[in-house]
Structure 1
Amino acid sequence: MYSLGAISKPIELTNVPSELFINKHLTILQDRSADLSFQNAFKQYKQGKFTLNADERASFGFIHDALWASVLINNSSDKEIKKVLYLDTAWLDHADFYFMRQGKVVDKAFIGDTLPFNARENKTRMLSQQYSFKPGITQVFMRFESQDPLLIPLYLTTHDAIQDNLIISSYFYGFIYGAFFILFVYNITLFISLKDSSYVFYSLYLLSFFCLNIAYTGHGFKFIWPNSLLLQQWLMILFLYCYIAFSIAFCFEFLKLKVFAPKIYQIRKWVYTGLILLITSLFLNADQLLAVNIGVALTSLLVVIFLSLGFLVLKNGHDTVKFFIPAVFLGAGGAATSAATTWGFIPYSTLIFHSIEIGMLIEMSILALALAFNLKKVDKARITAEVSAQLDHLTELYNRRAFTVAVSPLWNLGIRDQQAFSIILLDIDWFKTINDDYGHAAGDDVLKSIAQTLQQHIRKSDILARWGGEEFIIFLPNTTQSDAINLADLIRKNIQKMTVLHDTGPLSVTASFGVAVYNEQMTELEDLIKLADVALYKAKNSGRNVVCHMPQNQTIKNQEVNKMTPI
């Protein structure tokens, strides 16, 4: 099992760059009992039981084992050279360093998450140990152990190189966290305005991943809870399960399972209850490694479930899922790549290890687009509803309310600029008789035909509406009384010539018109409409199929009409 004399060549300090990944120079021994002492480990090293880490392995997965490692470093100069042994991981319980010369320990250091961050000699976010290497060969003997995944990407570097990497890292995480914050605020705002629960669950999903990332990258231990070992040990696990819970809740709401998969939606309470019981039991059991293992396995399982549900609701007609499926696939791909690196299935590199952040950023951006697409659909539906509320469904003309809204600004503008404007009010003659003799379908055809005729003879600036029943109204801006009368008579003649085809045969219809023009004594639009109504009443009592108008200086107040006169 072991290669006798598996001793790596010493690393020559005078030839190394400012930063060197040294895992391939390590000789290692896995201690499955995790209780091997330094003396016994060194004894096994001398017996050749350490193996050369030729494949540069940095991750040893989720194990309870301790890992012993050794590396030889040679300083061929005549001066001390200061270097830093830097572990590119933030979650490692124990990292013990023994510095040896000629088989004797000359210095040692014990670092890791079992010590408060403020107790560290080197205040780097990742674990690091500085040492001044004297001329000659120094053996660095190390022991690593963790309740989290055992990841030990080890670099021989300098303080300046660490600072340079810190600047790059700051830009990277600044961009990542900035993007998460913008998406979080954006979706909270949408939730407040739209009251759609999918937005709040997405915001909580974002927040939980943000907190999870802060925990496992060491930002939390450095800046938020530097003196709390309990929080450092358990917050990452708590945030992992919060991330799982809110991803499930978001999936239920975003995929609209209540509509597209109601049977699955009905089990959501059982899912939430089971998850709460699982989390509670794991925390009571207090086995960190077990909790992380189950969390990672559950996350992988949920990816498969989410994709399956996505294809199901897509098949059932939920078109927004076309964003959800690639988003989950890319996010899961990033997480799977990072997990495979943590497990040791993929060779470690900084970029590959951080693919979870990149994948999640892409996933969340696509999901944000999906929610924006959903918002666009909601907004389009709202506009359609508003437009529909303004139209008469039979004739597709404005209804009375929409007419008033559309005319009001033109009325105010005309009064301010002292412009002439008129109103034509018309009523189909004997419309009740048409309905009684030919049926309401024939009456509907008459109304639609007259609406089309009116649209053909008005200007773009005119406002036409179905006023109610068999009445239509036209507002004519910049139109004198004589022009309004001429237009009304032209329309009257075209209606008279019109033939409405119906199942019972062709129908001929006529209409009566009332015309009124604005004068300075009027204060409200209603005054002009009432005056046009009086003129229409006059037309009805004048034999129908005629155009009647009121004198230009006439007002409704001085107009007396006997409304009881039969039409």
Structure 2
Amino acid sequence: MALDPLTLLTMTIALALAVALYLALEWRTVQEPALLFWSAAFALISIGSTLALLRGSGLLLVGIWFANGLLVASHWLFYAGVARFTETRLGRAWGLVLVIWLAMLLLPEGPQWSKIMLVVNSLLIALITIRASFLLRPRGKSLGAGAAQLRFVLLGHGLFYIAKTFPVLVPGTLIDLAAFRGEIIQISLVEGVMALMLIALSMTGTVRYRREKRIERLAARDPLTAMYNRRALEARAPHLLDAASCTRPGALLLIDIDNFKLVNDLHGHGAGDRLLVALGEMIRLALPEGALAARLGGDEFVILLRNTSRAQIVELGEGLRERFRALAAVSFSTPQAVTLSVGATLFDQPPASLAALIEQGDVALYQSKRDGRDSIRLVDRTAHAEPLAG
């Protein structure tokens, strides 16, 4: 089959329509808003390419001006999807793209009409796609291989459209939009099909990466407090535990809410959930650099510290107790005070396992509960151990 303009346009129509449907189905699964913009963009390409076939019937306004306008609009939707994906706000100035294209209706017909139309169309598409490529820069965090590929595909696509304007400046260059004649038009149709396939593949990879990261993040987080869960803590704790030494001791703080059941019984489980969320936020704000925190389950939380000391442990535990006691007293009226008990273990040798360390923390936590609750008990297991502090 010869790659004549009609064949290339037919391929573009079929390919763009298939991609539009695929991205729409993907959106139903992952609910990524960018997919809707990109699906609509490919749908417009399919419609615009269909209208471009009408040039042969003499419908130049629809087949050229309107069809190319849809091509510009589709690239604008590519840009809007990238902006949504990267959480970037669209400026009002981008509405000028529509104004500029509407102004093309005022062009007088003549020998230069096709060249002017080609230049304006190319520059608008180049501006939009290069800007979309710019938004996909990593900016301190990876967006995935798909996003990196999409960035360079869009950049190359935009630069190609800039290059399309150069032949217009060469005297005698044949450019006939009405009959698809002119070498630059033939090359543009081939590039369009190739770019369509590359952009579609890159967009699919981009969303797949976002989806995988979201699943990975959900698997590692407690759904209520958004803190690490026990499985995530076990995966991240070894490097911190193995770093413990005589000069850089580590610590574990096991935290439990005293009389938490009273909040659930008297104020409902929704109130208990809000209290757990509030405690999780307190812990996050109090964490020193390099520390880990997680919700083990129920009303039990854990903090792992590196390069710490008895004084720092007590300061952290006491600070959390005081802030939590004040919050609970103001928020919930209960017969007995809702407070925190903290069991802490200071160690200067890597423990056998995280589970073993948590068991040691349980011992200290039990001592805190037994001694009247609302307190911190610290077990010093370093070489220079001192009596319990409280």
What's the TM-score once normalised by structure 1's chain length?
0.39
Residue 373 (str. 1) matches residue 207 (str. 2)? no
- The count of aligned residue pairs is 259
Q: How far apart are residue 365 of structure 1 and its match?
A: 1.1
What is the root-mean-square deviation of aligned Cα atoms in Å? 4.1
Equivalent in the alignment of 1:362: 192
Deviations 1:107-150 (A, max 9, x none): xxxxxxxxxxxxxxxxxxxxxxxxxxxxxxxxxxxxxxxxxxxx
Structure 1 position 473, deviation (Å): 0.7
**Corresponding position of 1:509:** 338
Deviation at 1:358, TM superposition (A): 2.0
Structure 2: gaps spanning 5 or more residues: 29-34, 59-175, 384-390
Q: Which residue identity lines up with residue 255 of structure 1 in the other structure?
A: L
Distance in 2 separating the partners of 1:362 and 1:245: 10
CA offsets per residue over residues 506-526 of structure 1, 9 Å max, x none?
995201110001233733233
For residue 251 of structure 2, what is the aligned residue in structure 1?
Answer: 422
Name the counterpart of 2:361.
532
Does 2:203 align with 1:437? no
- Please give the per-residue CA displacement for 1:185-240, whole angstroms capped at 9, x wherever unaligned: xxxxxxxxxxxxxxxxxxxxxxxxxx643xx79xxxxxxxxxxxxxxxxxxxxxx6
The Cα shift of 1:404 comes to: 2.2
CA contact under 8 A between 1:497 and 1:508: conserved in structure 2? no
The residue number in structure 1 matching 2:226 is 396
One of 319, 332, 338 as aligned partner of 2:37: 319
- 5+ long unaligned stretches in structure 1: 1-210, 218-239, 263-316, 341-345, 555-567
Task: Compare the two structures and name the one with the higher strand fraction.
Answer: 1
Q: Provide the secondary structure at the position in 1 that maps to 2:380.
A: coil
Query: Which residue of the partner structure matches residue 550 of structure 1?
Result: 379
Which of 262, 266, 288 is the matching residue for 1:459?
288
AA of the residue aligned to 2:289? K
Over 3 Å counting, the alpha-carbon distance change for 1:521 and 1:474 in structure 2 is: closer
Closer/same/farther in 2, CA of residues 349 and 245 from structure 1, 3 Å limit: closer
Going from structure 1 to structure 2, the CA distance change for 1:526 and 1:337 (only over 3 Å counts) comes to: same
Preserved CA contact (<8 Å) 1:334 1:360: no
Give the stretch that moved more between structures: 359-368 or 475-484: 359-368
d(CA) in 1 for partners of 2:42, 2:266 = 58
Say which SS state the counterpart of residue 550 (structure 1) adopts. strand
Distance 2:177 2:299 in 1: 80
Which moved further from structure 2: 496-505 or 401-410? 496-505
Q: In 2 relative to 1, CA 442–360 (structure 1 residues): closer, same or farther, beyond 3 Å? A: same
Show the 5 A alignment for 1:335-354.
Answer: 352=182
Q: Which has the higher contact order (CA 8 A, sep 6+)?
A: 2
Question: Structure 2: how far apart are the matches of 1:520 and 1:472?
Answer: 23
The 2-side partners of 1:476 and 1:490 are apart by 15
CA drift at 1:255: 1.9
Map of 1:104 onto structure 2: none
CA distance in 1, matches of 2:277, 2:382: 35
Q: Secondary structure at the match of 1:428?
A: strand
Aligned to 1:251: 17
Mapped partners of 1:413, 1:351: distance in 2: 70
Counterparts of 1:447 and 1:349, CA distance in 2 = 69
> What's the CA shift for 1:479?
0.6
Is this contact kept in 1: 2:16–2:46, CA < 8 A? no
Partner Cα separation in structure 1 for residue 177 and residue 374 of structure 2: 92
For residues 239-284 of structure 1, the C-alpha deviation after alignment (integer angstroms, 9 at most, x for no partner) is x69x968964773454238859x9xxxxxxxxxxxxxxxxxxxxxx
Query: Which whole-Å CA distance do the structure 2 matches of 1:381 and 1:525 have between them?
Result: 30
Larger C-alpha radius of gyration, 1 or 2? 1
* Paired AA for residue 369 in structure 1: I
Structure with more helix by fraction: 2
In structure 1, how many angstroms separate the alpha carbons of the residues matched to 2:179 and 2:263? 84
Q: Return the letter of the residue paired with 1:364.
A: M
Q: For residue 426 of structure 1, report the CA deviation from its aligned partner.
A: 0.8
CA shift for structure 1 position 495: 2.0
Is residue 400–residue 465 contact of structure 1 (8 Å, CA) maintained in 2? yes
CA distance in 1, matches of 2:322, 2:344: 16
1:455 to partner: Cα distance: 2.6
Q: Give the corresponding residue for 2:97.
A: none
Q: Describe the superposition over 1:360-411 as per-residue Cα deviations: whole angstroms up to 9, x where unpaired.
A: 3124314522442343223222222222222222222222122222322222
Q: TM-score, normalised by structure 2?
A: 0.55
Which residue number in structure 1 is paired with residue 309 of structure 2? 480
Q: 1:335 to 1:428 in 2, by over 3 A?
A: same
In 2, Cα distance between equivalents of 1:476 and 1:245: 60
Partner of 1:387: 217
How far is the alpha carbon of 1:477 from its aligned partner?
Answer: 0.9
For residues 302 and 13 of structure 2, the distance between their equivalents in structure 1, rounded to whole angstroms, comes to: 56
Q: Which residue identity lines up with residue 256 of structure 1 in the other structure?
A: Y
